[in-house]
Structure 1
């Protein structure tokens, strides 16, 4: 059968921070950097040309993204503009998750494979809560898309295999992999991303351990030569590549891949 690849260009999804540039945690890989360029809930009326929104933000002092505080207004916007919503939740409890069920079209949920990595990167031990929230999301029949960041712990591989092995206990059809980006202003800014071969190995491990799994290289992965080389190596392994560079597109066509496209967040 002809090799297939699905490319995603993030044209029709906009990211919203429900907490502005506030986050209770100053995690070592981010330190609020990614909140700075996000729109806020006050900007939504200006985003009616978008078909979907990623509702995200920093964590409050309960280590939750407080989506449940905005449900009524988000319902109104959804009805007004026919948006699809992809949500980040943090570690919400069962009742909080029930409150957001009506507005959720997808949940992007970051998983960490072991407690040591969680404590080192996030500075808190919420390891059990991560997996409890994940259990609750599945029990409540959310459309959950597990995300694993390769090299989360300052570019070192410390939790990825554990996370994949643990996911083997679940009936999941997709895994979205992100790749650690050394981020200016963060504790890890001088670290290096994992080697391209290490990232490819993780993809291949997941491919081998699951039957019929769809693997995505998500939007968060280093730019420049790293991105070009990584995407080229993942052709034939990844099922989706988000933000493909021209070299990847040209390669796929040259290798006679069957190429399909979409233009929203890859969870849809």
Structure 2
């Protein structure tokens, strides 16, 4: 089975792009209703003319503040800057109460990783349960959590866990400064599934300094297990990081990955996530994503809305995280 699935993925991936996208679109029409979810959570302002997001409804929280021991090459803690800080369990629960009173419906709890690639969640398990007790949707970005943390998150009642899957050991070393490879990321995925958690794996296209090296293996790690959702995001070069000047993968390359995921995962809830380059790259990537048969897109361009409707797709907006579409 492992060899067969890997061969299947490689065979699909190397089809001519036009043929690949056409097949993916046909399969999407066959297996899903003509509906496209559009996620606009509060980490960014969004106003398309026919929808303006309520930034209070879904917020991101860092339990390490702006600190991250791992200091990955693509981020260096920059992604933590815009999150609400909550450096203790008591602070997390207090923040949750305040956000709830202000109209919040859900939170993503994340933070910087330790030197083993784990977000230090264990001291926060009771506070996470407290957030659920307030009636909030609670999503947790975990890193490479072990079995005990997975069971603790299940007992806390979190709605989802998000896990980045890296399919290339050299990418993990160069970018995340970790010695782990695909097997270790697959094992972390297994820990969550064994605990009965809803896992939404993420794959970062171009994580290895803009090059595609291991994305198909990451897709294999997802599809070889009972995962029903997948979010694909695209490397976004951030100022102040070693990847600031990196060229991200071309939109057509992202479309090829998405179409491969659709054809290899016919029932997969496939989503184009919020992290991707802006400008022309964003628009072209979204156009490819539509034809690749995605079920949802985060922060869509206005032109993407028009194209989706011309393709016969009904659209709806949600101000929660795209993983909840």
TM-score between both structures, scaled by the size of structure 1? 0.94
Structure 2 gaps of 5+ residues are 1-28, 43-56
Of the three residues 122, 146, 149, the one matched with 1:96 is 149
1:108 Cα offset (Å) = 0.8
| Runs of 4+ off more than 4 Å | none
Of the three residues 93, 107, 113, the one matched with 2:167 is 113
- RMSD of aligned residue pairs (Cα, Å): 1.7
CA distance in structure 2 between the partners assigned to 1:89 and 1:201 by the alignment: 28
Give the match for residue 215 of structure 2.
160
Residues 1:144 and 2:196 are matched in the alignment: no
Residues 1:133 and 2:178 are matched in the alignment: no
Give the match for residue 285 of structure 2.
230
The count of corresponding residues between Structure 1 and Structure 2 is: 267
Of the three residues 230, 238, 245, the one matched with 1:183 is 238
Give the match for residue 60 of structure 1.
114
Give the match for residue 69 of structure 2.
24
State which structure, 1 or 2, has the greater radius of gyration over its C-alpha atoms. 2
1:203 Cα offset (Å) = 0.7
Contact 1:27 1:121 in 2 (8 A): yes
Give the match for residue 84 of structure 1.
137
CA distance in structure 1 between the partners assigned to 2:191 and 2:267 by the alignment: 24
3-state DSSP of counterpart to 1:5:
strand
3-state DSSP of counterpart to 1:104:
coil
CA distance in structure 1 between the partners assigned to 2:151 and 2:275 by the alignment: 29
Residues 1:8 and 2:53 are matched in the alignment: no
Give the match for residue 267 of structure 1.
323
Of the three residues 306, 310, 313, the one matched with 1:250 is 306
Of the three residues 40, 44, 62, the one matched with 2:96 is 44
Residues 1:221 and 2:276 are matched in the alignment: yes
3-state DSSP of counterpart to 1:149:
strand
1:19 Cα offset (Å) = 0.4
- Residues 74 and 175 of structure 1: CA distance in aligned 2, closer, same or farther (over 3 Å): closer
CA distance in structure 1 between the partners assigned to 2:262 and 2:132 by the alignment: 36
Of the three residues 203, 223, 226, the one matched with 2:258 is 203
3-state DSSP of counterpart to 2:201:
strand
